[in-house]
Amino acid sequence: MDRLEGFAEYAGARQRHLRRSAYLLCGDWHLAEDLTQMTLVNLCRSWGRAQRAASLDAYAHTVLVNTFLRHKRKYQRQAERAAQYSSGIPETAPADSPDLRLSLQAALQLLPARARAVVVLRFWEDLSVEATAAALGCSIGNVKSQTSRALARLREIVGDSLIDTGLR
């Protein structure tokens, strides 16, 4: 029973943070809630292994990203159809404004799932390149190249000044 009590304490303390990260990955609060719940279920199942990990938060983020990527693959066709009907992104927004946040969030949704995961982990979660590579189960070079490509794509979508002020 102590094992589950430790999980309940962790889940209660980190659920809100995981939901915010999930929202940045998927762009939908309802889906973010579902992803968070699926993540917590998966984390509970592997709680013993999670407690032995070097960082419990890093382990939880890995579970969240994997849950998101599994969901994304499962519903890829549906997402492609929905993207055909999505509206455009606002042109520009002044720094530190709600419009900037909305522009960046909309642009983030146009990135492929893996690139979006790299950007969220690197710039929202503020993970190092090494920690991001560990969370995604890929090489450090892969994280660097995906980060570079994702930022270049974001710059194409919203412009250099928004990316520089919004992600740094």
Relative orientation angle of helices 56-74 and 129-136, to the nearest 10 degrees = 50
H or E, element range at 47: helix 47-52
pLDDT of res. 14: 94
Q: Which two tokens stand for residue 89?
A: 């992104």
The helix/strand/coil state of 69 is helix
Note the pLDDT tens digit of each residue in 85-142: 454 444 444 455 677 777 788 888 889 989 999 999 998 888 899 999 988 899 999 9
Q: Are 25 and 68 in contact (CB under 8 A)?
A: yes
* 64-87 mean pLDDT: 72
C-alpha distances in Å from residue 136, one per residue of 53, 78, 124, 127, 152:
15, 24, 15, 12, 20
Of 166, 147, 18, the closest CA to residue 26 belongs to 18
- For 150-166, write each residue's pLDDT tens digit: 999 888 887 765 555 55
